[in-house]
Amino acid sequence: MSDGHMSAHAPAAGRTRVGRPLLSLALASMMDEVHAHSGAVYLLADNAPVLEMAVMAGLPRAFAAPWERVGLSAPIPVAEAVRERRLVWVGGEEEMARRYPRISVVLPYPFALAAVPVATESTEYGAVFVTWPGSHPPELSDRERDHLTAACDRLALRLERAAEDSIPLHAEPDLLAAATVGGVSGVAGTLGTVEAARMVARLPYGLCSLDLHGRVGFANPAATELMGVPVSELLGSHLWGAVPWLNDPAYEDRYRAALLSQHTTSFVALRPPGDWLSFRLYPSTTGLSVRISRARAVAEMNRAGPQPGDAPSRLVTISQVLSLAGALTEAVSVQDVVQLVADEIAPAVGSQALVVLGSRAGRLHVLGHRGYPDPHLVERFDGLPLLAQTPGAHVLTSGVPAFFDSQEELERLYPARHETPDGFASWAYLPLIASGRPVGTCVLAYAEPHPFPADERAVLTSLGGLIAQALERAVLYDVKHQLAHGLQEALLPHSLPLLPGIEAAARYLPATQGMDIGGDFYDLVPTQGLAAAVIGDVQGHNVTAAGLMGQIRTAVRAYTTVGQEPEEVMRSTNRLLIDLGSDLFASCLYLRLDPGRRRAVMARAGHPPPLLRRPDGRVRVLDLAGGPLLGIDGSATYPTTEVDLAPGSVLVLYTDGLIESPGVDIEDALAALGRRLAEVGDRPLDELADELVRHSAATQERIDDIALLLLRARPES
């Protein structure tokens, strides 16, 4: 017992054994009482909210392999039965596809299921599920409900007594019918049995027997002749493993469908080079009998099996679902999600067009669409209220997907569609629900009438869940991205002032990796007869860094306006940053321009050195004196350096994002920037700014923001 739960899964060797196989007997009795054909017992694990399959009956455990261990929060019936302490009933494949699409993707077959908690008033021990063939009525009868509930209550009491007596449960084998492996010569027993084998041997068509695992237990001579495989290779082997041209998942799927649904199934397969054979599977709770004959009407029967040259199935496989799920995790923005759905998901399910609708403020909004010849038709649905009588709104408010295999069916339920035909013939409307919250609707349109069988509905519903999660993340990303960069733009100057004798141009590029706001800034401040320029970079990429950047920029502007000298502006800003108590530091380069005297006085606080291009085209890095980063030492000083600024000279001020790139030496990057400046420095300043940004290796995949400020001394007129 642990945390109110009992761990009753298979114990280690040497534990005390309970006298009888408690779980197996209880499960077998339960299935017999309600005429179920398979089932399993789950028990809660030690110290974890996890259900573990303890024993399974009626079918191979491989059928339920994805759910041998499930979390209590998992959206599957046994977990829901324990969480809510109630019987959970699923009446068929349609209901399974709607309520539990994860199960339908793996087991898209007609069957009914009941999951019942195994619990006393004080303790939950686990749950039981049992299944019936697809022919079971859609509702669970009162007799079946009472039998299942009473049986699980009795099992809970036995588990409680075992826990009180500190008696662990011993490992119990799954309950499967024993397979008879052997040919005609291996059949032993009565004269009747021998004569039955002789009779089967004389039949002109093939017969073979498969156990619940799909292994061949018997095959008559006609079967071996039709399949071209000797009986010695068939017996004890899986049919699709012993016969090479049957080694196709589609044929194994027919075996699984027959066993789980207990319905007769069939398929047609091509035995090379040109013989078509018909396989008909008759299931029971002990295995399957297979009748094999030559297919006379291949054109009709071939619908049950693939043919060479057929177009690939439009039904997405499990591996494709996993691949698409992985791709969706890489989608960043809303348009990324729309593009991925259009490029990968829609073609995979055979759709020719799609619309992705988002939900905001009680209305639907078109987030993106592809494949519609008239885009204006799609835009008519933008802004429709969620209460509107449209399929897109209805599936989102109800949470239930809708599938229309013809225009007549759609228009019968939604007459307004008569007014807005889109030229398509079938539609799937998938509600996009993430974290229990509706985020939108995905509409897939088909050019031709398209039936939606239960297995395809299950796949589409599951894909809708994956799209919803990606869309929820993308909407949040877009909102934060717009907020961050809106704040960044608000904190930077909208335009640069016109200064006598000085021409200026600036560029700001946000980082391409991540979406947090940066702390890069620049400014140009006019004063009487002079001008001041500043560029800097606050440590960090968040709203705090951006807010601090705004305070520094405002402080520099204020200290400049009152007439402080460059070194004093830097000291005052440094003290302010320390007084604010921030843990962030900032680099800064400040300069006072005096175009009349053709000079500039600069002060530097841990910032990358500027570049100066002289009128003759020579470029040098200005190795300025300076002090530490702002915000570190309140007593720091910032000595100044005076630089000649001849007419036609260009000063290049930048943040480290322009030259820092993974795998590139900063000195090499700075040298490359200098060479480019020498080559194109005579161009108009706006063109020069674009050119320097475009040819910087660091700007291709930016891990940091980039700020660039260019200043050119105008030639004397």
d(CA 648, CA 695): 23
Of 11, 57, 8, nearest in space to 31 by CA: 57
Residue 327's CB: how many other CB atoms inside 10 A? Answer: 17
CB 390 within 8 A of CB 414: yes
User: Residues near 413 by Cβ (< 8 Å), separated by ≥ 6?
Assistant: 391, 404
22-26, 39-43, 685-689, 698-702: least confidently modelled range = 698-702
pLDDT per residue as tens digits for the range 598-649: 899 999 999 999 999 999 999 999 988 889 999 999 899 999 999 999 999 9
User: Residues near 628 by Cβ (< 8 Å), separated by ≥ 6?
Assistant: 605, 606, 636
DSSP letter for each residue of 17-36: PPSS-HHHHHHHHHHHHHT-
pLDDT per residue as tens digits for the range 382-417: 888 888 888 889 888 888 889 998 888 888 888 776
DSSP letter for each residue of 247-261: --HHHHHHHHHHHHH
How many CA atoms lie less than 13 Å away from 476 in the CB half-sphere? 8
CATH 1.10.8.10 fits 22-165, yes or no: no
- 22-165 and 331-483 have identical folds: yes
Which amino acid is residue 209, in one-letter code? Answer: S
pLDDT per residue as tens digits for the range 305-320: 444 334 334 455 555 5
The structural domains of the chain, with segments of one domain joined by +, span 22-165, 194-294, 331-483, 493-713
- What architecture is domain 331-483? 2-Layer Sandwich (3.30)
Q: Which CATH class is domain 194-294?
A: alpha beta
Q: Where are the beta strands (DSSP E) in 574-629?
A: 586-594, 599-605, 611-613, 619-621
- CATH superfamily for domain 493-713: PPM-type phosphatase domain (3.60.40.10)
DSSP letter for each residue of 640-704: EEEEE--TT-EEEEE-GGGT-BTTB-HHHHHHHHHHHHHHHTTS-HHHHHHHHHHT-GGGTS-SS
pLDDT per residue as tens digits for the range 187-204: 334 345 566 667 777 777
287-296, 465-474, 478-487, 622-631: least confidently modelled range = 478-487
CB 707 within 8 A of CB 491: no
Q: Indicate the average pLDDT of the chain.
A: 81
pLDDT at 301: 38
CB 281 within 8 A of CB 258: yes
The yes-or-no verdict on residue 256 having pLDDT over 60 is yes
Q: Name the pTM for this structure.
A: 0.47
d(CA 610, CA 681): 15
Average pLDDT over residues 462-469: 85
d(CA 109, CA 382): 38
The yes-or-no verdict on residue 78 having pLDDT over 50 is yes
Q: State the pairing for strand pair 287-294/426-434.
A: unpaired
Cis? peptide before 273, omega within 30° of 0: yes
The yes-or-no verdict on residue 222 having pLDDT over 70 is yes
User: Residues near 268 by Cβ (< 8 Å), separated by ≥ 6?
Assistant: 276, 277, 278, 279, 295, 298, 301, 302, 304, 305
